[in-house]
Amino acid sequence: MVSLAVVVAGMIAGLVLVAIGQWRLGCLVVGAFLAVGGLERLLLPTAKAGLLRVRSRFFDVIILIGMGAAIIALSILVPQN
């Protein structure tokens, strides 16, 4: 439960940064915490119940880390005006 709270708090912090106009930093924070969520899914023990039983751990890790890396790459590569 704590690991979910860490990821959610980081995502909220990133979205707040985007909302106040720091879009590049906010996107970096969102991407980083998506990757953190993927690493937590990889390292933490398997869930006994809930929605995590439906998907495989491999799928979750690949999607979360892949999306985190993509958001980080796009936030770095998009030119500033």
> What is the C-alpha to C-alpha distance for residues 50 and 69, in angstroms, rounded to an integer?
27
Backbone angles phi, psi at 11, to 5 degrees: -65, -40
Residues with Cβ < 8 Å from 52, sequence gap 6 or more?
Answer: 46, 60
The per-residue pLDDT for range 45-81, each reduced to its tens digit, is 776 556 666 778 888 899 999 999 999 999 999 987 7
Kindly report the pTM of this predicted structure.
Answer: 0.84
3-state secondary structure of 79: coil
- What pLDDT does 28 receive? 96
> What is the C-alpha to C-alpha distance for residues 10 and 60, in angstroms, rounded to an integer?
18
| Whether the Cβ atoms of residue 15 and residue 26 lie closer than 8 Å to each other | yes
Q: Estimate the crossing angle of helix 23-43 against helix 2-19, to 10 degrees.
A: 170
